[in-house]
Amino acid sequence: MRINLRGVRGSIPTSGPGVKYYGGNTSCVEISAEGWKLVLDGGSGISNVTWHEELNHNRIDILLTHLHMDHIQGLGFCKPFFDPAMEMHIWGPASTTQSLHERLSLYLSPPLFPVHIRDLPCKLHLHEIDKKNFEIGPFKIYSDYIIHPGPTVGFRIHYRSAVFTYMPDHEPALGVSGILEDTRWVSGIDLAKGSDLLLHDAQWTDAEYPQRMGWGHSSMDDAILFASMAAVKHLLMVHHDPGRTDDMLNEMFNEVKNRSAVSFSFEPAYEGMEILLG
């Protein structure tokens, strides 16, 4: 599978010369294989997805980890929604109170957006997911709830022998003891276990985290610890803070790198990054 990172910024899109390297678009990852396409999250990075390239049918699947604005704000500008020939599937976490349709409609309706979700010309299918195994074309996917405010899932995606895990917003250290040693008590560990590639939240520095505990995000150190406990092969850190320039991110990463001795490779993800797996 080909994995293209289309947005790795957290919270709100940013722009300017200071963020040119890591990019300013919010969460979105494009995955392509055998004429199928998955889009993980619908942040502003969705505007860079190559929609019709390599598709051998008219179906596209968008998998949402959760419905915070930085993960859905690009949906309204997703071109295939406006193409009657397209079959669009949106997968999102189930809530106890409102359907996925109701929650998406809060954004995809006036006054926030001019077009109602019901008026989108494509053939739209919505799927509510929780702890679940499902298949889309050649991909075998496992979803499960993870710690982040509101219903939020992570995705473990199998393609051939490769495993890619996606948890861009995740706070496994929430609590007085941080990430617990016993992995049975660590949110998301089953999703990430043994992955060839883990894309994980790493918004804060260790010093910033205590003041932001409960906001749903991780420090770079906690992302590395989590990846280490899950025995992943490669960690890409995402959800870069919108106030962080390229230089600041490099400095933050180098500082963490100099004191981290782990057996796997890790680095901050950047917009436009491409990875081949499987």
Least CB distance from residue 261 to another protein, whole Å?
Answer: 25
Is residue 177 part of the contact set for another protein (CB under 8 A)? Answer: yes
Judged by CB, which is closer to another protein: 81, or 145?
145
In the range 111-150, which residues lie near another protein by CB under 8 A?
A: 130-131, 145-147
Report the residue from 151, 168, 216, 268 that binds another protein according to the rule CB under 8 A: 151
CA distances from 7 to 13, 31, 33, 105, 238 (A): 9, 13, 20, 23, 9
Helices (H), 19-113: 69-72, 100-107
Q: How many helices (H) and strands (E) does the chain have?
A: 5, 14
Least CB distance from residue 130 to another protein, whole Å?
Answer: 5
Is residue 174 part of the contact set for another protein (CB under 8 A)? Answer: yes
Size of the site for another protein (CB under 8 A): 21
Least CB distance from residue 201 to another protein, whole Å?
Answer: 15
Is residue 251 part of the contact set for another protein (CB under 8 A)? Answer: no
Spell out the residues 6+ positions from residue 83 whose beta carbon is closer than 8 angstroms to its own: 121, 122
CB 208 within 8 A of CB 173: no
CB 7 within 8 A of CB 44: yes
Q: Determine the Cα–Cα distance for residues 69 and 135; give it in Å rounded to an integer.
A: 27
Determine whether 116 is exposed, middle or buried from the number of CB atoms within 10 Å of its CB (0-12, 13-18, 19+).
exposed
For residue 64, the Cα-to-chain-centroid distance in whole angstroms is 8
Is residue 58 part of the contact set for another protein (CB under 8 A)? Answer: no
Is residue 95 part of the contact set for another protein (CB under 8 A)? Answer: yes
Least CB distance from residue 128 to another protein, whole Å?
Answer: 10
Q: Determine the Cα–Cα distance for residues 169 and 183; give it in Å rounded to an integer.
A: 19
Least CB distance from residue 97 to another protein, whole Å?
Answer: 10
Is residue 57 part of the contact set for another protein (CB under 8 A)? Answer: no
CB-CB neighbours of 81 under 10 Å: 20
Say whether the peptide bond before residue 111 is cis (omega within 30 degrees of 0). yes
Report the residue from 105, 109, 183, 245 that binds another protein according to the rule CB under 8 A: 183
Is residue 203 part of the contact set for another protein (CB under 8 A)? Answer: no
Judged by CB, which is closer to another protein: 210, or 243?
210
Is residue 231 part of the contact set for another protein (CB under 8 A)? Answer: no
Is residue 75 part of the contact set for another protein (CB under 8 A)? Answer: no
Is residue 273 part of the contact set for another protein (CB under 8 A)? Answer: no
The residues that touch another protein, with contacts defined as CB under 8 A, are 94-96, 130-131, 145-147, 151, 174-177, 183-190
